[in-house]
Amino acid sequence: MVIGDLNVKGGEAVAEKLGKDCVFVKCDASNYDDVVNIFETAKQKFGRVDFGTFPFPPHKRPTLRKTARIAVSLVKKLNRLLIVVAANAGIAESMDLTKPINVAAGQTPPKPNLKTVDVNLYGPLYAAYLAVHYFRTNSPATGGRYVVTSSAAGLYGHIDLPLYSAAKFGCVGLIRSLGLDRRCIAENITFNAICPGWVETGLAPPGMIEFVRQNCAEIITPMSTIMRAYNIFLDSNVSAQAYECTGELAEPRPEPDVFPLPVGC
């Protein structure tokens, strides 16, 4: 397993906890060359792309124990199951799109800070693109499992998180589309998304975790719920599914009914 993140201290600590079969690589999920380096490191170190990526938000302190629990579970499964890529990078809102802008006469608004989209959408896109390639280079090529962390905000939207929601909606659209690809279906490559509700991570603003614990603890999603969804994706051929994980609930959220496309479209 290869773990990639900008948080070197946290990433190295997780890798050390998992032992010799885990390697940490410094990585910015929004940088294509960094993502390539993760895949190449996995290929060179292990001979196959047997790895999961668990990036922490680059400006927040990691939740080491919870990250390690997901990693340990996947490491155990990798000994008996296919290939896994878990695209889990994420940062919070990088700017307020509707904040009034003071622009001098004759000037135009400055370019917006879209780092949220760069990390939360471009990162998973890079990972999916590379995952398909590296799944196919394995010998034997047994298929693969691509799992992206979206969000409940990628299913329903959120008034305060337009950039975050846009990126997470994009992740759901990505797996719902790639999961229908006939070539990947034939090659046993699946694409799915985890859509968590409230999970205690470094993305939470200061004081928010304690507030939720004291006032609405029923909405907290334990790591066991997240792992149930992961286990479904890893242990079956289910694909193109977005699983909402809120509290003790982990179940698919299907697309709205649409007219069936003609064959070949």
Under the banding of pLDDT at 50, 70 and 90, the label for residue 262 is: low
* Strand 144-149 versus strand 84-87 pairing type: parallel
User: How far, in Å, CA of 182 to CA of 212, rounded?
Assistant: 44
Tens digits of residue pLDDT in 15-71 = 888 888 888 899 898 999 999 998 999 888 888 874 343 343 333 333 444 444 444
Walk me through the domains of the chain, giving residue ranges and CATH numbers: 2-95+111-252 (3.40.50.720)
Task: Look at residue 51 in the predicted model and tell me its pLDDT.
Answer: 39
pTM above 0.85, yes or no: no
Residue 245 tokens read as: 């994980």
Residue 20 tokens read as: 């010799």
| Sole residue written with tokens 């589309």 | 177
Task: Look at residue 50 in the predicted model and tell me its pLDDT.
Answer: 44
User: How far, in Å, CA of 209 to CA of 172, rounded?
Assistant: 26
Tens digits of residue pLDDT in 190-244 = 999 999 988 877 666 677 778 888 888 888 898 899 999 989 998 899 999 999 9
Percentage of the residues of the chain whose pLDDT score is greater than 70: 80
Tens digits of residue pLDDT in 102-154 = 989 999 999 999 999 999 999 999 999 999 999 999 888 889 999 999 999 99
Residue 110 tokens read as: 């400055």
